[in-house]
Chain A
Amino acid sequence: MADSSVSYKCPNCGAPLSFLPGKKTVTCEYCSTEFEVSAIEELFRDKQDMAVHAAEAQEAKWETENAGSEWSGDEAAALHAFTCSSCGAELVCDENTMATECVYCGNPTMIPKRFDGMLKPDFVIPFKKTKEDAVAALKEFYKGHMLLPSNFTANNRVEAIQPMYVPFWLFDSKITARAEFRAQKIRKHSHGDEIITETSHYNCRRSGTMSFEKIPVDGSKKMADDYMESIEPFDYSELTTFSAAYLTGYLADKYDVSAEESAPRADKRVEASAIDVLQSTVEGFDTCSLKSSAIRKDVGKVEYAMVPVWILTTRYDDKPYTFMMNGQTGKVVGSLPYDKTKAFLYPAICSVILIPILYFVILALIY
């Protein structure tokens, strides 16, 4: 990292700054802004420091090898696996449960196969919501949407309601976050017939440590990431040590996205939140923007959990609509179709009503 020929740049305009030894201040030749030499030196020391930390941060990895565990022989023997002949989904259930049709595509031909290649989850959040709860919650979800086609509720057929344990990686991390912010203090005062605006620029450096616990990232390719992020949050107080007994009566999806592959999704969220935390400590300024950041994982632990989800598939106008319900909290997520006529008509009515109002508002502002 030894960068001996430090090239100082003007923080205001980016032009190269050259300064004479022994002088306390330096003036940019291009934008004529004056700086304290010490401030410029500090700024560039910080910049190099940040580069070192950014490199470190890149190297820090999650300890994924401890996520999940091996099944004992008895446990494995009691589990069955099925493959969907149509979409290739692999589902797992215990010996008392039959996989009759694919949760994802509705295909009724599920081919039994030998159970293997799946870690034993560390935790499970048991199902709390029943099928009746799911149906009622979906009905409730339809309400209050102005653009819903009038015949949607009547004509939409619920094709399948399936409960499923979805594999999730739960990321725990303790991080050291560093960030540089550019902040401004703006002072305005009038002098004679002029308004003088003084904008003072500051470089604000922050670093700190913080911990995140159990950021959930689903390990299923077939489950859309945005749906799985939308059914959050879960109540972790009900998180219990996994036992195959919880699978009775339910299907479980086998993870097909490894913890390593899922980690970037957790990293991105941690980074955004860590920067938010640091930025919230930049106080007393009028503006503040992020200049650079480096987030280093000091501890990065991953656990493997099964999370309950109700998958509701409906059909309307020959198109399938999928809704998901958090099997613990009952939160329903999904996208409803909208009536094109209503989507045109309602805003058009609003616009037509607004025209005379706005006309008189504009007249009142002119005269």
Chain B
Amino acid sequence: MMLKKFIGLLTLMIVLSFSAVSAAQLQPVTDDLGLLGAEELKSINQKIKSMEQTHGIKIGIWFTKMKNNTDMITASNNFLDQNFAKSKNGSIVLIVDMNLRKYEMATNSLMLQKITDTDGIPFLKGEFQPALHNGDYYGAANSFVDGVDKLVSYYEKNGQPYGSAPDGIDFAALGGAIIVALLCGLGIRSWLIGSMSNIHHASEATDYLQKNSVNINENRDTYLFKNVTRTKKSSNSSSRGGGGSHGGGGHGGGGGSF
């Protein structure tokens, strides 16, 4: 019995010391609100850890309740910098605030090269936002992690982030470039040929006008009528933020509501 108690105590101490360590070195997923089951938490943490191994990246997810006036951008940047900054190939975090039903992602500069604010972040939103909206938090976390996997794999395979210009030749752009270049060539040609002659007909006599002889004696503007045309404004309101604008410090990211 004593042995059992001792082993139990020892286990407790080990667990406690582990949790002390884990307090210093956070698990990938922090669930303050118990939104995920213990099994789910374990499985998603395992999945992230194995992915961190393969890609040399760090991923953090935090389900929490934020104070009402929290700046989500700063919070997500700090969460990344304090817990997940040390990675070989880049880090990304996702904070889900159940208070205002908002989420925010942050990337560090290394990850920003792989997951851009213009294309990578919107792609991730599309991956996990539906599940988040439906209250499927485990599904959302999984989709987020899978999305990051896809984007980082894309970068590893193509050498450039998802959404940037493809490596192949864009024939439409090439055709346009050839046409414009040909027109420029023709323009240069006619300019060069034109420069071979300085013979021109004189069309006006301004050189011979006696400037002080000009006397304007009638100067009358009559209003005739007015035309009014109405055109719809083009709805060009999509906000495609430039890379690294996520509150400065080389961070990227983006967020939304669910």
Contacts and interface: CB of A to CB of B under 8 A. Distances in A.
A26 to B, nearest CB: 10
B214 A210 contact: yes
Which interface residue of B200, B208, B210 has the most chain A CB atoms within 10 A? Answer: B208
Given A198-B228, A354-B180, A270 B200 contact: no
Contact of A145 (B170, B196, B216): B196
Nearest to A367: B165
A44 to B, nearest CB: 11
A57 interface: no
A232 interface: yes
A201 B221 CA distance: 10
Contact of B223 (A39, A230, A333, A358): A39
The 9 A-B residue pairs with the shortest CB-CB distance, nearest first, are: A351-B185, A335-B197, A269-B205, A358-B177, A211-B213, A229-B202, A208-B216, A359-B177, A347-B185
Interface of A: 11-12, 33-36, 39, 42-43, 145-148, 174, 178, 183, 190, 193-215, 224-227, 229-230, 232-233, 266, 268-270, 272-273, 276-278, 281-282, 333-338, 343-344, 346-348, 350-352, 354-356, 358-359, 361-363, 366-367
B4 interface: no
Contacts of B239: none
Contact of B214 (A205, A277, A282, A367): A277
B22 interface: no
Contacts of B209: 210-212, 273, 277
Interface stretch (B26-34, B124-132, B229-237): B229-237
A30 to B, nearest CB: 13
Contacts of A224: 199
Contact of A270 (B196, B201, B205): B205
A211 B210 contact: yes
B208 A214 contact: yes
A295 B63 CA distance: 85
B199 A209 contact: no
Contacts of A206: 216, 218-220
A34 to B, nearest CB: 7
Given A147-B196, A209-B215, A273-B205, A355 B181 contact: yes
Interface stretch (B39-47, B82-90, B186-194): B186-194
Contact of B192 (A146, A211, A269): A146
A282 B218 CA distance: 11
Which interface residue of B205, B209, B217, B228 has the most chain A CB atoms within 10 A? Answer: B205
A35 B224 contact: yes
Given A42-B222, A226-B200, 8 more contacts: A34-B225, A194-B230, A199-B229, A207-B218, A210-B210, A272-B204, A333-B199, A350-B188
Nearest to B216: A208
Interface of B: 164-165, 170, 173-174, 176-178, 180-182, 184-186, 188-189, 192-193, 195-210, 213-233, 235
A145 B230 CA distance: 52
Contact of B224 (A201, A207, A229, A268): A201
Contacts of B188: 346-347, 350
Contact of B213 (A146, A209, A268): A209
Given A194-B231, A359-B174, A225 B196 contact: no
A213 B185 CA distance: 43
30 contacts: A11-B224, A36-B223, A43-B222, A174-B213, A190-B233, A194-B233, A195-B232, A197-B228, A199-B226, A199-B229, A201-B226, A202-B224, A209-B214, A211-B210, A213-B208, A232-B207, A233-B207, A268-B203, A269-B205, A270-B205, A272-B203, A278-B216, A343-B189, A348-B185, A350-B181, A351-B182, A351-B184, A352-B181, A358-B180, A359-B174
A194 B226 CA distance: 18
Contacts of A39: 222-224
A333 B165 CA distance: 53
A198 B222 contact: no
Nearest to B200: A230
Contacts of B201: 225-226, 229
Contacts of A34: 225
B238 to A, nearest CB: 14
Contacts of A348: 185
A207 B217 CA distance: 6
